[in-house]
Amino acid sequence: MSKSKALLLSLLTASLLHAAPTHAANAAQVQEEAKPVSIFLDGRQLQPEVEPYNVNGTLLVPMRGLFEAEGAKLTWDNATKTVTAQKGNMTLVYRIGEHAASLNGKTLSVAVPGQIADGYTLIPLRFVSEAFGSTVKWDQNARTVRIASAIDAETSILWGVNLRDKPDVDKGASLSVLNAGTKVHVLQEVNASWLKVQTPDNRIGYISAKPKYTDYTSPSLAELQGDALIAYGKTFWGAPYVFGASPDQTKTFDCSSFVKRVFQDTLSIDLPRVSYEQAKVGKEVPLDQLRKGDLLFFSARNLPIGHVAIYAGNNQILHTYSKELGVHMEAFDGQWKRRFVTARRVF
């Protein structure tokens, strides 16, 4: 072999050996970036409908799944592409595509705006989680996002309550009893009956959302419980009216026994038997601030207060006073406006 050919072969071999590690490193990087991203919230893995989108280092994830996992109640205005998320006393409003959002009226900057792609509405994960007080950490090696909810034991237990592993009395096992005076952090309003909570020793479980057990309140929980009251009351639709009906049965009702039964069975609120005593419970609310579940009191039978109804929203009341109609709903107007005395809020 000539000296020139030998030199050329040596140079070629050296260049290939030098390039091999670089090529391998690039291939490993591509393979690493192709691995899916995992998302954990308080140790529980989330399962988004589609893989997160990475936009300049910001992860965008499906809107509904993230908000619901964070324990927020979601409403969507399709005309303006605006989402409103409510969690406890926090309200976040964001219009998809914009670089600003509003949290309780305060403007927040959104570095990478949300977008709609492939039929999914996507929002920046870190922005939403941190807006609700959570901390977000990125584990590069595991390609994992870890979200930790804010630990602020803001809610007091008023009455001993079971901490369960599921939001179900029959299927959920009791983990322990939380005694009166214990502080917990509410992670999520599951429904009208259950709260997902975290204890000071970092246990997570479910407790009753009924007012007797905790001092936790929020507009969103009140709405859920108002809906539950009305839905349960409607199950007695048409039940005959009988003056003085016993509250210990559900075949017949008068106005106050009906109200007493609905509140007891739905929220474990034990109201007095008669309407004029019920009118002493809770706090008075003006008519322009009524919400579902408020009690409305009226004059009747020459008494200052002789009738009670449950406000059902949209200017409707749920009550009973007529043998012909039994339990029914009707508009809060006409004679009812003329005979109205007071409105009371008991939860």
Higher pLDDT, 7 or 329: 329
Q: 174-178 and 115-117: which strand pairing?
A: unpaired
Paired tokens of 310: 């449950």
Paired tokens of 198: 């975290």
Is the same domain home to 180 and 257? no
Helices (H), 78-198: 125-131
- 160 close to 143: Cβ distance less than 8 angstroms: no
- 60 close to 111: Cβ distance less than 8 angstroms: no
Is the same domain home to 274 and 235? yes
Is the same domain home to 273 and 196? no
Strand partners, 121: 116
Which range of residues forms the domain containing residue 176? 155-208
Q: What is the CATH number of the domain that holds 244?
A: 3.90.1720.10
The answer, yes or no, to whether residue 1 has pLDDT greater than 90, is no
Range with the lowest mean pLDDT among 79-83, 84-88, 101-105, 164-168? 84-88
Residue 166: what pLDDT?
A: 97
- Tens digits of residue pLDDT in 6-32: 444 444 344 444 444 444 444 444 444
Residue 193 lies in a domain: yes
Residue 43: what pLDDT?
A: 84
Paired tokens of 148: 């930790």
Residue 3 lies in a domain: no
Q: Which residue is associated with the tokens 């409003």?
A: 93
Is the same domain home to 114 and 82? yes
Q: What is the CATH number of the domain that holds 123?
A: 3.30.457.10
DSSP state letters, 160-173:
-EEEESSS-TTTSP
Residue 21 lies in a domain: no
Residue 41: what pLDDT?
A: 92
| Domain end marker among 109, 126, 148 | 148
Instruction: Round the average pLDDT of the chain to a whole number and report it.
Output: 90
Q: What's the mean pLDDT in 66-86? A: 94
Residues with active-site annotation: 255, 307, 319
Residue 26: what pLDDT?
A: 45
> How many domains does one find in the chain?
3
Residue 14 lies in a domain: no
- Tens digits of residue pLDDT in 111-122: 999 999 999 999
Residue 114 lies in a domain: yes
Is the same domain home to 139 and 61? yes
Q: What's the mean pLDDT in 180-198? A: 95
Give Dmax (Cα) for the chain. Answer: 125
Residue 96: what pLDDT?
A: 98
Paired tokens of 234: 């409607």
Is the same domain home to 141 and 178? no
Q: What is the CATH number of the domain that holds 173?
A: 2.30.30.40
By C-alpha distance, which of 158, 167, 42, 191 is closest to 175?
Answer: 167
Please enumerate in sequence order all residues whose Cβ is within 8 A of that of 39, keeping only pairs 6 or more positions apart, or say none.
Answer: 45, 46, 48, 52, 61, 125, 144, 145, 147
Radius of gyration of the chain (CA): 29
| Domain end marker among 186, 208, 230 | 208
Residue 127 lies in a domain: yes
Neighbouring C-beta atoms of residue 335, cutoff 10 Å: 8
Q: Which residue is associated with the tokens 């192709």?
A: 34
Q: Which helix (H) or strand (E) segment is 318 a member of? A: strand 316-319
| Cα dihedral sign, 260-263-265-268 | negative
The answer, yes or no, to whether residue 181 has pLDDT greater than 60, is yes
Is the same domain home to 87 and 124? yes
Is the same domain home to 103 and 62? yes
Residue 189: what pLDDT?
A: 95
Backbone dihedral region for residue 248 (phi beyond 0: left; psi -120 to 50: alpha; all else: beta) = alpha
Is the same domain home to 73 and 123? yes
- Tens digits of residue pLDDT in 243-302: 999 999 999 999 999 999 999 999 999 999 999 999 999 999 999 999 999 999 999 999
Is the same domain home to 226 and 322? yes
- 157 close to 178: Cβ distance less than 8 angstroms: yes
- 147 close to 61: Cβ distance less than 8 angstroms: no
Is the same domain home to 248 and 322? yes
- 213 close to 221: Cβ distance less than 8 angstroms: no
Q: In angstroms, rounded to a whole number, what is the distance separating the alpha carbons of residues 162 and 164? A: 6
- Tens digits of residue pLDDT in 130-144: 999 899 999 999 999
Residue 53 lies in a domain: yes
Is the same domain home to 339 and 281? yes
Residue 191 lies in a domain: yes
Q: What is the pTM of this model?
A: 0.65
Please enumerate in sequence order all residues whose Cβ is within 8 A of that of 202, keeping only pairs 6 or more positions apart, or say none.
Answer: 151
Label residue 88 by pLDDT band (50, 70, 90).
confident
